[in-house]
């Protein structure tokens, strides 16, 4: 049942975990001690890449499952995999340079936007039926 959405969800967790490890590595390299979260550009980029991925995940996971359950499961899965690819690109771009975060952000955002429209369309159609 919904194995592709389940796999995308699990891989999303792995992605967040990788972004978290990169924050830990940047903390070590920069010497910024917890609880401080500012003071070194490299640490701040890794920190923001992780935070932004968490923020986007909070919008992505609900619409991934709503689109899967209330609209088209197959299209939702393709968009889910596209989101994962965009976000991977985003995280590894951002930690190199703040300017390199745009491409991956855009891919992830487009996949998210389409999933949101699918979810709203599917739910709306069934509410009005």
Binding site for a copy of itself (CB under 8 A): 1, 3, 6-7, 9-10, 12-14, 16-17, 20, 33-38, 41, 44-45, 47-48, 50, 54-55, 57-59, 61-63, 66, 69-70, 98, 101, 116, 119-120, 123-124, 126-127
Minimum distance of a copy of itself from residue 25's CB (angstroms): 16
Tokens of 96: 């190199």
Tokens of 51: 């935070």
The whole-angstrom separation of Cα 92 and Cα 105 is 11
Residue 31, Ramachandran bin (φ over 0: left; ψ between -120 and 50: alpha; else beta): left
Minimum distance of a copy of itself from residue 30's CB (angstroms): 13
The whole-angstrom separation of Cα 64 and Cα 76 is 6
Q: Which is nearer to a copy of itself, 48 or 82 (CB)?
A: 48
């Amino acid at each position: 049942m919904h194995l592709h959405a389940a796999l995308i969800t699990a891989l999303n967790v792995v992605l967040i975990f990788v972004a978290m490890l990169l924050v830990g590595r940047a903390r070590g390299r920069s010497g910024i001690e917890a609880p401080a979260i500012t003071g070194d550009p490299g640490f701040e980029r890794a920190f923001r890449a992780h935070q932004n991925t968490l923020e986007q995940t909070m919008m992505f996971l609900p619409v991934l499952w709503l689109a899967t359950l209330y609209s088209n499961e197959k299209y939702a899965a393709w968009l889910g995999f596209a989101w994962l690819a965009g976000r991977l690109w985003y995280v590894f771009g951002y930690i190199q340079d703040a300017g390199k975060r745009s491409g991956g952000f855009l891919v992830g955002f487009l996949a998210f936007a389409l999933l949101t429209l699918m979810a709203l369309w599917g739910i709306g159609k069934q509410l009005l039926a």
